[in-house]
Amino acid sequence: MSNIGSYEEKVKNFKWDDCEAELGYKKGDIINIGEYCTDRICRMGKGEKPALFWQGYTGEIKKYTFNRMRVLTNTIARYLKDLGIKEGERVCLFLDKVPELYFGFLGILKMGAIAQPLFSAFGGESLFTRLEDAEATAIITQKKHVGKVRKILNDLPRLKHVIIVDDDGSKPLRQRETAFSMETAASVEDFEIFPSTAETPSVLHYTSGTTGKPKGAQHVHYSLISQYITAKYVLDLTDEDIYWCTADPGWVTGTSYGIIGPWSNGITQCVLDSGFRADTWYQFIEDHKITTWYSAPTAIRSLMREGKELVQQYDLSSLRHMCSVGEPLNAEAVIWSGETFGLSFHDTFWQTETGSIMICNYPGMKIKPGSMGKPFPGITADVVDMKTYEPVKKSGTVGLIAIIPGWPSMFRSYWKNEEVYRSKFRNGWYICGDRASIDEDGYFWFVGRDDDVINTGGHLVGPFEIESALLEHEAVAESACVGKPDPVNMEVVKAFIALKPGYKGSDELELKIMNFIRKKLSPLAMPQEIEFMDSLPKTRSGKIMRRLLRAKEWGEEIGDTSTLEDNE
C-alpha cells in the first residue's frame, strides 16, 4: 500500500492543516527547515539512522547519521554567525555535490540567513549576475572554484566573505577569504536555532526568463509543509527507503527533493558527486540498494541509449518507485522503463516558483504514458484560455497551466522584482507559463512553454542572457538564441549571429564563440550550433523575431509573419 492510498479519497479529504499537524506545527509557531530536517528527526529517536551516504567521483564514500548531520549543520551555523552574518543576509553555496553543500544549506537556514545555491559549473558572468542581484554577503566554495570568485570579487563590494571548505593551507589566502572545515572545526552540540516563522525567507533560487536577467524566486520556511507532504505522497518515501535524487541543489529539485523533502521525512538518502555515466549509476543503485529514485528525462533517455543489456548486468531489484521531473517525459521512456526495470517512471511537473510538485502521477494510479498526471491533493490546477484566463473547460483544448495561489511552498516574490512577480498572477490564477490540455479523465498533457525560454536537459536557459553575453564577443554584431530539437536533451541552444564588418563566419570562429559562452556562462548555455546570417529577421519595431527562427528549427509552419510581428 502506498502512502497516498487512494488518490481520489486523498483529494476529497486533503487539508493543509492536517499536514501541519503531522509535523507538529501550529499557525504562529517557530518553523525552521534546518531544525525540522535534523534536530526534530533526532528527537524522534532516529539520531543513529543514516541520513546521507555520499560517494565522490573517485569512489570515496562518506556516511553521516542524522545526529552527525545535526551537529555539523550546527557547526556551520555557528561559524557563519561568528563571522557576523545576520538574519536575512544571502549566503551563496557554490560547490560541487559535496557534503558541505547539503549541510551548508541547512546550516545557513539554522542561523536565519537565506541560502542561495548556484551550480558550480557556472562561469564568471553567470555567477556575477546572480551574486550581484542577490547582494550576497558570503559565498561558500571549494578551492577548485575559488578562481572564478576571485576574478569578479572587485566588482562585488557587498560580498564580504569567501569561505573555502577544503583549503589545505598550501597557498596563502587572498582578500576576504577564510578557510573553514566542518569536519575539523570544534563540534557544536547545541546551537540556538534562529526562531524563523512561516514567512521568514529561506531560499533564493535563480531561474531564467525570456527577457531580462535571471530572477531570484524567493521562498519561505513554511514551504516545508508542501515539500514534506509531496515527498511522502508522490515519492512515496517510507522509513525503510534508501532514496536517490540525482539533481544538483543548484536546481530547485536538488533542494526541495534532494534536501528538504526527504530529510524532513527522516529518510536516508544517497548522493553521487560525479557526472552522468550509465554504468556508474546502475552500480550506485546496486551498491546502496536504492529503493526510490528521482531523476530527469534527459538522464532517462541517456540510459535508454545504453540499452537494456547494460541494465541486466546489475542487480537493481531493490528499486520500487521511480519519478521524473524537468521536461516532458515521453511515452517511450515510460514504456521502456516499465519493460526494463519492471517499474515505470512517474512524471512530475512543477517549477522553481512552485517550490514543490504540482501535477504528477501517483503510486497506485494508472499512468497514461506521456501525460503529466493529475494535480496534487490540495492544489487546484486547471488549463485557462491564453487571452481571457478563464478555464477552457472543454477537454483537449490547449491553454495555459494555471494554479490557484496559496499553497505553502509558493514563491513569495522575485527578489527585488515585484513587478514581474505580480505579472505572473492573472484572474486569480498563478500562470505557470506552460501550455497544456486536460483529457476527459482529468489527466494533464504538456504541450510546450509559452515563452522563448530554452529547456536543455531540464535546465532552463534564458535566451536573453546568452544573447547579452554573445554581444560581448568582439566579432558579434547581433544574435538570437533559440532551442533546437535534440533527441537526448530535448532542446539545445542554437545561436543565429550576424557578424561585425571585417569578420567572416568559419568553423574556427564558431568554436571560439562557443567556448567564449561556455566559460562565461556555463556548458548548458553554450550554443551547440551557430548559424551565421547577414542580418537577423526583425519586427517593424526592430525586435529580433526569435519565434520565427525557432519555428524554422522545429520545422513548424511559420504562417503569416505579420501576426508574429504583431505578437512581439
Please report, as ranges, the residues that interact with ligand PRX according to CB under 6 A. Answer: 207, 252-253, 325-328, 347-352, 372, 432-434, 446, 449, 455, 460
Please, what is the angle between helix 297-306 and helix 278-288, to 10°?
100
Note whether 264 and 37 are within 8 A (CB).
Answer: yes
Q: How far is the CB of 418 from ligand PRX (least distance, A)?
A: 19
Q: Cα(253)–Cα(227) distance, rounded to whole angstroms?
A: 10
Nearer to ligand PRX, 103 or 430 (CB): 430
- Residue in the block written with cell 501550529: 26
Nearer to ligand PRX, 262 or 328 (CB): 328
Q: How far is the CB of 355 from ligand PRX (least distance, A)?
A: 9
Number of residues that this document lists for the chain = 568
Q: Cα(547)–Cα(549) distance, rounded to whole angstroms?
A: 5
Nearer to ligand PRX, 352 or 479 (CB): 352
Q: Is 189 exposed, middle or buried (0-12, 13-18, 19+ CB in 10 A)?
A: exposed
Nearer to ligand PRX, 196 or 253 (CB): 253
Note whether 85 and 113 are within 8 A (CB).
Answer: yes
- Residue in the block written with cell 563566419: 505
Note whether 354 and 380 are within 8 A (CB).
Answer: no
Cα dist from 258 to 227, 231, 556, whole Å: 10, 10, 38
Q: Cα(562)–Cα(354) distance, rounded to whole angstroms?
A: 35
Q: How far is the CB of 446 from ligand PRX (least distance, A)?
A: 4
Q: How far is the CB of 458 from ligand PRX (least distance, A)?
A: 6
Task: Copy the grid coordinates of residue 93.
Answer: 553555496
Q: Cα(448)–Cα(400) distance, rounded to whole angstroms?
A: 10
Note whether 408 and 461 are within 8 A (CB).
Answer: no
Q: How far is the CB of 519 from ligand PRX (least distance, A)?
A: 23
Q: How far is the CB of 467 from ligand PRX (least distance, A)?
A: 20
Note whether 467 and 481 are within 8 A (CB).
Answer: yes
Nearer to ligand PRX, 343 or 475 (CB): 343
Q: How far is the CB of 233 from ligand PRX (least distance, A)?
A: 17
Task: Copy the grid coordinates of residue 166.
Answer: 577544503
Q: How far is the CB of 482 from ligand PRX (least distance, A)?
A: 15
Q: What value, to the nearest 5°, has the Cα angle with vertex 465 and ends 357 and 522?
A: 75
Nearer to ligand PRX, 113 or 460 (CB): 460
Q: Cα(461)–Cα(483) distance, rounded to whole angstroms?
A: 9
Nearer to ligand PRX, 75 or 348 (CB): 348
Q: How far is the CB of 483 from ligand PRX (least distance, A)?
A: 11
Nearer to ligand PRX, 33 or 454 (CB): 454
Ranked by CB distance to ligand PRX, the top (closest) residue is 352
Q: How far is the CB of 490 from ligand PRX (least distance, A)?
A: 9
Nearer to ligand PRX, 254 or 266 (CB): 254
Nearer to ligand PRX, 56 or 370 (CB): 370
If DSSP states are collapsed to H, E and C, what string results for 498-559? EECCCCCCCHHHHHHHHHHHHHHCCCCCCCCEEEEECCCCECCCCCECHHHHHHHHCCCCCC
